[in-house]
Structure 1
C-alpha cells in the first residue's frame, strides 16, 4: 500500500520545514526548488503552483506561525526591566536553536548579497520583534526604570545583535551570557 499523499496544511508544513532546514544547512544562493521539493517529499510542481521564486517561499516559511516566526511573543510583563529583557533574549536564543532561527542566520550574514530579500525579512520578522522590545522599554520608562532617550531602534537592536554575534562565534548562548548582556550592557545603556 502506498503512503497517503499529503495535501493542504500538511504539505505546506512539510515544504516550510524543508525550506528552513535547507536554508539553515547551506545558503540562499544554494536554495533551489529541486532541493526543497526533494526534502519535502513532493514534486516541484507543488512549489511552483504557490510560489514563483525561492525568495517568496523563504518569506512564507519564515513568517508562518507554525514553522516560522509568526507573531512575536507578548511582552513578558514581569514588572521589572531586567527580568523582561532576560525573558525576551532567552526566547530569542531558543528560536536561534530551532530550524527557523538557523535559517535566519545565513540571511542576516549575507544580507548584502540579497538586500531586497533581507529588507523583507527585516520587515516581516525582525521589526515586529523589535517592537516588543520597544514596548518593554516604554513600560520601563513609565516606571522610571529606563531613560526616555533609550526608546530607539538602535538601542533595541543591541541585545539581539550581541546574541547573534555570540551565536556565530561560539554556538548556543547560555543563561549566564544572557544575564551578562542585560546587566553589563542593556541596563547601563537604558538607565535613567
Structure 2
C-alpha cells in the first residue's frame, strides 16, 4: 500500500466495502479474510482485530449505514401507493449495488448457511418488512387500506416479488416496480 496509511473509519469502510464486493462476486464459501484484506489493501490483522469470523464481517458490512443497508427512512409521500413505489423502487435500485448483490448471493445460498441467513433476515430483511407493515397500518388508519390487509405476509409480498424478479431477470425496472404495486399490492390491500 502506498501513500497515507488508512486508520479508523476510513480503514473500516474500505474493509466493509471490500467484503461486500468479494461476496457479491463470489460466494460466502470463497470469502476469506485474506481476500478481503488484499482487496482493501490492508493486512489480515486489521480484520482479525475487529471481527472473529467472516460471518461477523459480512453482518457488519450488510448492516453498516454507509457501505450496507443501514436504516431505511420512511418515505412519507402522503399516499400508500407513493410510499410503496418509493420503498420498492429503492430496493430494486440497491440490488444492483455491491451490498444488494451480496444480499442476493446470501439469499441464493441460504440452504448452505441457514444460521447466517437467519441473522441476515433478522437484521436486514425484517426491519424493511416492519417498515412496510407500519405503512400499511397508517394507510388503514387513513382509510387507504383494509385493516385485514395489515399482516406480515402481505407486507412481505412486495419485497419478495422484487427479489424474485431480480433473480429471474437480473434487473427490476421502475416499470416493473409500478406493475408490482398497481397490479399486485394495491388490489391486495385496498378496500
Same fold, judged at TM 0.5 (above): yes
- Cα displacement (A) at 1:151: 1.5
Determine the structure 2 residue equivalent to 1:9: 9
Matched, 1:105 2:104: yes
Matched, 1:71 2:71: yes
Q: Deviations over 1:111-137 (max 9, x none)?
A: 111111111111111111111111111
Determine the structure 2 residue equivalent to 1:142: 141
Any residues of structure 2 matched to 1:92-171 within 5 Å, and which? 92-171=91-170
Which sections of structure 2, spanning at least 5 residues, go unmatched?
none
Distance 1:77 1:3 in 2: 44
- Cα displacement (A) at 1:73: 1.9
Secondary structure, counterpart of 1:72 in structure 2? coil
Which sections of structure 1, spanning at least 5 residues, go unmatched?
none
Q: Deviations over 1:30-57 (max 9, x none)?
A: 1011111111101111111111100000
| Structure 1 outlier segments of 4+, above 4 Å | none
Distance 1:28 1:149 in 2: 39
Q: Deviations over 1:61-102 (max 9, x none)?
A: 11111101111222x222221111111111111111111101
- Cα displacement (A) at 1:58: 0.2
Secondary structure, counterpart of 1:30 in structure 2? coil
Distance 1:78 1:18 in 2: 35
Deviates more, 1:10-19 or 1:165-174: 165-174
Distance 2:137 2:108 in 1: 30
Determine the structure 2 residue equivalent to 1:88: 87
Determine the structure 1 residue equivalent to 2:19: 19
Distance 1:91 1:30 in 2: 29
TM-score, normalization: structure 1? Answer: 0.96
- Cα displacement (A) at 1:180: 0.5
TM-score, normalization: structure 2? Answer: 0.96
Secondary structure, counterpart of 2:29 in structure 1? helix
